[in-house]
Structure 1
Amino acid sequence: MTKTKVSVIVPIYKVEKYIHRCVESIIGQSYWNLDIILVNDGSPDQCGSIIEEYAKKDSRIIVVHKENGGLSDARNAGMECVTGDYVMFVDSDDWIANNMVEQLLNMIIYCRADVVQSAFYYAYNDYLLYDNRCYSKDESPILHSNQSLMQELLKNETVKNFAWGKLYKASIIKDIPFKKNVLFEDVFWAHQVMKRVKNFVIMHEPLYYYYQRENSIVSNYSLKNLDFLKGLKERHTFIEQHYKELADDSYRSILKACLIHYNLLFLNKSQDQSGQYKNAIRDYIMQHFSFFQEAAKSDKELRRQLELFSIHPMINVAFLGARKLARRLKLIPTEEGLEKVNLRI
């Protein structure tokens, strides 16, 4: 197995504060046969010189310098340098467990899989969160065939849309570029990859540390966040074409996202002063109401929100706000939380 090479791609932009932690977690892997492809996406800080210093010390490191083009463009540039049999993506403010590559490689070979995904930690400065609603550290790995994989991808619960946290056969992804100039580029990409996957494995052990910066999505919301909806709609066209029987699953994910983004636009009125984008979401929901209504039959909470929204969007906004307040005052039970664990770097 030591002859099997794994290419690890790290897109880098304005992460001078975090880059050492990320790169050193990759250099220190228990599995040695790596290409470590560090793509400096025109970072204006010292990241470029930092990774050049790493390259002087470790012959496995390949440094790419390019003009700033965004995360997708940086990943695509990294893919051009891949020589490994397998590929992994690591975001430059995240880090990985020192045995992640070895663990995933063992699993992908043993199961003859095309892709293997590990669980992950939401990593904060002084603690970690593990999603024990979706994963269980004591459970055996889960093997998905193509049909069940795509259904789980649409739910985005156990099978995540994220490009990171997975090990891919290079042949599966080498000719599927990431879409440029969009946020949430993984949503535009993942379903195209998964269509090619015959066997997909989920490992419950958290091996990836997904760093959570302190910025709130509410306070930092912008209209670019609506790219997420564009990605889901583009994916839905794909689902209708290739997985017609999963159309309701796709509609549910779109409806949930529409309701969330409507509320975020309401909370960020400065981003949509004329109400143009809120109205576009409302119109989209009402134009597809019968499809959403059918899709929401199996989800009581979603069905209730759709009914309230159809009466008037603000009724649903008020309902969600009142429920949040009631939970804060402990008048109703809080939602099941995530497992908090000690930070291990």
Structure 2
Amino acid sequence: MKVSFVIPVYKVEQYLERCVKSIANQTYRNIEILLVDDGSPDTCPELCDKYASEDTRINVLHKVNGGLSDARNYGTKEATGDYLIYVDSDDFWIHNDDLAKLVEIAIVNPNVDFIGFNCSYYFTDKDKYSPWALYDNRLSTPQEKNEAVKLLTSTSSMVMSAWMKMMKRQFVVDNELTFIKGQLSEDIPWFLNLLDCCKECMFVNLNVYAYRQGVAGSITNNIGQRNIDSLINIVETELKKIDKRSFDKEARDCIMSFLAYEYSIILGYLQLLDNQTAKDKYEYLKQYQYLLKYTQDPKIRKVNYVYSILGLKLTTRLLQMKVRNVMK
């Protein structure tokens, strides 16, 4: 079984070596590593070529800059493995035997379209890891997609990140599971499409991925109007698509609860805009407050409780306070 790693590369020269080595040093050796140089203006192109000269399993794809989504799509087209994994080039895998464990799970469960795994937030300045929330143990066995959606939502673990999945490559190709070029938060519609297309999936509590925090220039450190507009667009687009998706009624309601979570995040982010723009966005967003009645996600249950007592305006202020505390 061959596994393809697609790693978009752009302005990460200080992090790239650790990322590549964390994959190349996996004890499971039947892999290919596709380094997609997305027109990086620093020394990354030369570094990619250097790594490829040292390991025949590494292939470099140089292309004109098109953004993360475009680079992932480009690498996916060139991949030849049975399974496909995305890695962001400022992150890394934690243990050398992580892939061996995932491959063993895939062999035992050949009907599963993809396997989700876990991550830890990695704080570079402190060299410390903070594990992400655990999945429901029932998800460690193959689940039909509707049941998977319900279990993920009930435990607030509907994780969108593309880099926390190992997928059958042919399944991805056949269902045209691409990323929208130029869109921020592109993993959200991609993951909902992934779930919609799959028959069975699994989510295992293996802490595989180190998600680096505090990276200069990363989207999570530079939230502005474009990010907020992108999230609003995603919520609106998904609301239009929800009745056309193949989920059952309960699972669709769970997706609505997830969209309510994204809606809450948007309200919290409004404080990052200038006052007039924030007021205009708030007035526009009031039309979607009905989402807060979808309380399948425990986090939204709490937001709904506050909303039912204080109303949308004060709830928004509390959400903004929470965002401020998180971003300190």
Corresponding residue to 2:258 among 253, 275, 296:
253
1:113-148 Cα offsets, whole Å, 9 max, x none, are: 2211221111112210013x4248x99934322211
- The structural deviation recorded for 1:247 is 3.2
Paired-residue identity, %:
27
Q: Distance in 2 between matches of 1:244 and 1:139?
A: 19
Q: What amino acid is aligned across from residue 248 of structure 1 in structure 2?
A: D
**SS of alignment partner, residue 129 of structure 1:** strand
Alignment correspondent of 1:223: 225
Q: Distance in 2 between matches of 1:64 and 1:272?
A: 44
- The structural deviation recorded for 1:10 is 0.1
Alignment correspondent of 1:199: 200
- The structural deviation recorded for 1:300 is 4.0
Task: Name the TM-score, length of structure 1 as normaliser.
Answer: 0.81
**SS of alignment partner, residue 37 of structure 1:** strand
Q: Distance in 1 between matches of 2:52 and 2:220?
A: 39
Alignment correspondent of 2:280: 276
Q: Distance in 2 between matches of 1:220 and 1:139?
A: 37
Alignment correspondent of 1:333: none
Q: 1:232 to 1:283 in 2, by over 3 A?
A: closer
Q: What amino acid is aligned across from residue 166 of structure 2 in structure 1?
A: L
Unmatched 5+ stretches in structure 1:
329-345
Alignment correspondent of 1:307: 308
Q: 1:32 to 1:300 in 2, by over 3 A?
A: closer
Q: Distance in 1 between matches of 2:10 and 2:155?
A: 27
1:105 corresponds to 2:108:
no
**SS of alignment partner, residue 167 of structure 1:** strand
Q: 1:309 to 1:83 in 2, by over 3 A?
A: farther
1:239 corresponds to 2:242:
yes
- The structural deviation recorded for 1:22 is 0.2
- The structural deviation recorded for 1:41 is 0.6
CA RMSD in angstroms comes to 2.9
Q: Distance in 1 between matches of 2:220 and 2:44?
A: 29
Q: Distance in 2 between matches of 1:53 and 1:295?
A: 51
Q: Which is further off, 176-185 or 197-206?
A: 197-206
Determine which structure has the larger helix proportion and give its number: 2
Q: What amino acid is aligned across from residue 220 of structure 1 in structure 2?
A: N
Asked whether the 8 Å contact 1:162–1:186 carries over to 2, the reply is yes
Alignment correspondent of 2:149: 150
Unmatched 5+ stretches in structure 2:
none
Q: Which is further off, 187-196 or 75-84?
A: 187-196
Number of corresponding residues: 313
Q: Distance in 2 between matches of 1:21 and 1:105?
A: 22
Alignment correspondent of 2:63: 66
Asked whether the 8 Å contact 1:272–1:278 carries over to 2, the reply is no
Q: What amino acid is aligned across from residue 22 of structure 1 in structure 2?
A: C
1:264-293 Cα offsets, whole Å, 9 max, x none, are: 21x2233864633222212333xxx3xx36
Larger radius of gyration: 1
Q: Distance in 2 between matches of 1:187 and 1:162?
A: 8
**SS of alignment partner, residue 164 of structure 1:** helix
Alignment correspondent of 2:185: 184
Asked whether the 8 Å contact 1:12–1:92 carries over to 2, the reply is yes
Q: Distance in 2 between matches of 1:7 and 1:322?
A: 42
Q: Which is further off, 119-128 or 238-247?
A: 238-247
1:134 corresponds to 2:131:
no
